[in-house]
Structure 1
Amino acid sequence: MTAEETMRRTDLGDLVRTRMEQLGFGLRTLAAACIDPDDPEAGPLWTRGTLENLTKGRVIKAPTPEQLHALAAGLELPRTAVKRAAAAQFLGLVEHWNENHDTRVLIARIEELDKEGIAELDEIAQIVLRRRARQSSGQE
């Protein structure tokens, strides 16, 4: 592996690997689940080998938008989360996220909510913040 290959980003591969662990998926299971919901007739758009290369940090060709849609469906993640990880890995678009990608997924889910959903999520956040404030002040 060249120095260039070892220094490149692995955001998408890391996201895929983490989510596979969360779902208990192997490479074959994920490959079979990677079907673009907009074109299910096309069948799976990822192979086990390509997914293996991706998750092991090996160089692969940048995925198409359809492949990213299929990967998001297979991983049960918002498309935006997968697209942002791909943009970071393949285009160098760097955003700051936490190590295990929870923030990336949360932001993508927020972007899919309507105004009512965002208001509900804000209520939940306020409850959590109040509880933590009580805990830190020793009231709980």
Structure 2
Amino acid sequence: MATEDRPAQGEARTDLSDLVRNRRAELRLSLRAVEARTVDPVSGEPLCKYSWINKLEKKLAIVPPAYEQLEALATALELPVSRVQEAAGAQFFRIDTVWSVSGEARALAIQADRMTSEQREQLRRLIETIAGPEVP
């Protein structure tokens, strides 16, 4: 039986398709605009072609994206690459990331992505002080 978050075994996953379609709508971008935002600065070619993005959004069969495409999509859609990777992992490989039962660990990780490396180090030290050192 499917849950609200996860389809039943054998049901198609649409996590990345939904994320891309919804975020594109939020940003009011056309498919061509997303394609243009994925242009590789070295080759000058888009890493995510219009037809691929269109098929992805329509939930049609496509070749799973490579990391470079996920990174380009994240940039184009102004999202953290980790969020795009998580959606792709769920859709194409049925990988469900489990952060914690409460979801607090994920919320902390998302906030940490917004910090500088110095701030993350301070946070790590604070957590070690409160929770104690990691036990091997």
User: Shorter chain as normaliser: what TM range?
Assistant: 0.5 to 0.7
Tell me, yes or no, if the aligned pair for 1:77 and 1:105 is still in contact at 8 Å: no
In the alignment, which of 8, 15, 24 is matched to residue 11 of structure 1? 15
Alpha-carbon offset, residue 14 of structure 1? 0.4
Number of the residue aligned with 1:33? 37
Work out the CA distance in 2 between the residues paired with 1:41 and 1:19: 26
Q: Which structure is higher in RCO with an 8 Å CA cutoff and minimum separation 6?
A: 1
Alpha-carbon offset, residue 118 of structure 1? 9.9
| 5+ residue gaps, structure 1 | 1-5, 97-103, 121-140
More helix by share: 1
Alpha-carbon offset, residue 110 of structure 1? 3.4
Alpha-carbon offset, residue 34 of structure 1? 1.2
In the alignment, which of 48, 72, 75 is matched to residue 73 of structure 1? 75
Number of the residue aligned with 2:87? 85
Between the two proteins, the alignment pairs up a number of residues equal to 106
Alpha-carbon offset, residue 75 of structure 1? 0.7
Alpha-carbon offset, residue 112 of structure 1? 4.7
Alpha-carbon offset, residue 109 of structure 1? 5.2
Q: Does 1:23 align with 2:24?
A: no
Under a length normalisation based on structure 2, what TM-score does the superposition of the two structures give?
0.65
Tell me, yes or no, if the aligned pair for 1:35 and 1:71 is still in contact at 8 Å: no
CA RMSD, Structure 1 to Structure 2 (Å): 2.9
| 5+ residue gaps, structure 2 | 1-9, 99-105, 124-136
Under a length normalisation based on structure 1, what TM-score does the superposition of the two structures give?
0.64
